[in-house]
Structure 1
Amino acid sequence: MKRCAFLSMDNLDDFEVYDELLYEPLKNRGWEVDEVSWRNEETDWDQYDAVIIRTPWDYQDAPKAFIEVLKDIDASSAILENSLDTVKWNIDKRYLQDLHRDGIEIVPTLWKDEFHKEQLPSFFDELETDEIVVKPTISAGADNTYWIKQKNQSEYLEELAEVFEDRPFLVQPFMQNIVEEGEFSVFFFGDTYSHTILKTPKTDDFRVQEEHGGRLNKVEPEKSLLTIARKTLNNITPLPLYTRADYVRTAKNSFALMELELIEPSLYFNMDPESPERFADVFDEWMNKRLTGTT
């Protein structure tokens, strides 16, 4: 029996997690799975054949420490997925600049190194909108993410100044289709398309995560969405074990990339009953090739 660690956090009681749906399919393929907190300093990573980053949903609180743990795993005999280089690239949302240069449409974005109160009014002018979203370039789960309207911007000045005093952040126009239609998440395991879900926020909110009241529905992706998702995947090197790409429909009926989730995305195995088996197939083939040195 081969051993695999699912890299997690100390306590997931406040989160919706579906990775347990993988345990039986992986066991049937000869894999024993342990859930291990990335903060457990006593873990011997050499005891595992593979370590898969799954639910360390507090890494944004200590990103440097998180990367150091991944370095330790990468230096062990275990295979780390997604890879250390992938995580280093994907952990800061400035990776969106790279994808944009490669021809992937993204939501218009201003990139800032620190916040100054006098800047706030200019954000609305530069983006030609009366509603904006401000969030850190390193964040997860909508932490420190603000939906600000031009008419009430003064209410946020002090908090923004405190949160982003020495922390890079980005500013985007609020995309109305997030609340009117929702955010599409497209999933790939390796280069195999798996499933697509539509996440919609609760009334008077913009956060689509379940923990914030977001609602989920499995959908069949439009051909244009699947095409741009595949194009996005083709711009990632090396190919990740798992990819979640989040898109919003624009006013021109195109799909703009919101986030490319390659570190610790929920893969929503609960939304597609065939997805656990699909992941297990890809994972087993992927790891066997790595372990035998055939790829």
Structure 2
Amino acid sequence: MSAKPIDVVILTEDRYLHPDLDDWYQAQIAHEEALVGDALQALGLTVVRRSWADPEMDWSECGSVLFRSTWDYFERFGEFSPWLDTASAQTRLFNDAALIRWNVDKHYLGDLAQRGVAIVPTRFVERGQTVSLASIMAEAGWDEIVFKPVVSGAARLTYRVGKATVGEHEAVFARCVAQESMMVQRFEPAIVAEGELSLIVIDGATTHAIRKTARAGDFRVQDDHGGTVHAHVPTADERAFAEAAVAACPSRPLYARVDFVRDPAGGFRLMELELVEPELFFRFHPPAAQVLAQALAEKLR
């Protein structure tokens, strides 16, 4: 193990460095990260929490960095990107910088599709490109779509559009494309009918799963948008799909959350493969925090 004074920095952002435990959302973050921190300390590792943007932090003084609640990185990408270069030159990152750079841009879905992973049908629209939502829908034969930025999170600039409403969204879409690359995906009815499955895969193997459902009248499943999280026991075919998606990454991540839905034909379609700072829902299965801690500790040896 590292001889450096700090073995593991659990990485957060400025807003959550000192969480308000009277706020349910921040209390949830604190609980999740405490499960990981306690598991790491139980293995004899020294652990601290720091914001990635801490100007006083010397990253060369820690043996490793574990990304957790760095949920502002896409809003501050102009700062985050050079920080990632600096930190990765000074310490070990989990997941590593190459995987993070690959995963922050949702063009990675195209890479996974080329490697045989079934993704939600997707069209990428590059910044400055002139194309209408209506033409994309007509060409693809889609009656309903969702569009969002390729670098984003927390449902930022995410819109659900049907044939009846496409006209009123064209101006919004054009403004978005003028500023950044976007993606247009076929809307998956299973999102509202059944919800989205999230399988947590640590060091290549599934540890646990949850199912997220949107509130009535919405399609966003995140709990901070009113969605609900349910315990879920993954089936063998769900595990196989999630683990195959992770195996298709450029290198094996320490941790991953695989978000997918059931396809109308009966298979699965990948929504997202989250490798940067996914919520891992340890509160639903605390032993998984110990699995993560053990896997990280072995990589530091």
Deviation at 1:284, TM superposition (A): 1.6
Q: Which residue matches 2:300?
A: 287
**Deviation digits for residues 230-250 of structure 1, max 9, x if unmatched?**
211221232111111111111
Say if 2:235 is the partner of 1:231. no
TM-score for both structures, normalised by structure 2? 0.90
Say if 2:82 is the partner of 1:65. no
Q: Which residue matches 1:292?
A: none
Q: Alignment partner for residue 55 of structure 1, among 49, 65, 69?
A: 69
Cα distance in structure 1, aligned partners of 2:78 and 2:245: 27
Amino acid at match of 1:274: P
Q: Alignment partner for residue 200 of structure 1, among 208, 213, 226?
A: 213
Cα distance in structure 2, aligned partners of 1:198 and 1:117: 37
1:5 counterpart SS class: strand
Deviation at 1:130, TM superposition (A): 2.0
- Does the C-alpha gap of structure 1 residues 130 and 48 become closer, same or farther in structure 2, counting only changes over 3 Å? same
Cα distance in structure 2, aligned partners of 1:167 and 1:156: 16
Q: Which residue matches 1:149?
A: 162
**Deviation digits for residues 58-102 of structure 1, max 9, x if unmatched?**
1111324212111111111x2111001111111100011111111
**Deviation digits for residues 239-263 of structure 1, max 9, x if unmatched?**
1111111111110010111111011
2:132 counterpart SS class: helix
Say if 2:256 is the partner of 1:243. yes
Q: 1:113–1:166: 8 Å Cα contact kept in structure 2?
A: no
Q: Which residue matches 1:291?
A: none
Cα distance in structure 2, aligned partners of 1:105 and 1:149: 23
Query: How many residues are matched?
Result: 287
Cα distance in structure 1, aligned partners of 2:127 and 2:246: 31
Cα distance in structure 2, aligned partners of 1:275 and 1:250: 28
Q: Which runs of 5+ in 1 are unaligned?
A: 289-295
- Does the C-alpha gap of structure 1 residues 118 and 263 become closer, same or farther in structure 2, counting only changes over 3 Å? closer
Deviation at 1:117, TM superposition (A): 7.8
Q: Which runs of 5+ in 2 are unaligned?
A: 20-24
- Does the C-alpha gap of structure 1 residues 116 and 204 become closer, same or farther in structure 2, counting only changes over 3 Å? farther
Cα distance in structure 1, aligned partners of 2:254 and 2:134: 42
TM-score for both structures, normalised by structure 1? 0.92
CA-atom RMSD in angstroms: 1.8
Identical aligned residues as a percent: 32
Say if 2:14 is the partner of 1:3. no
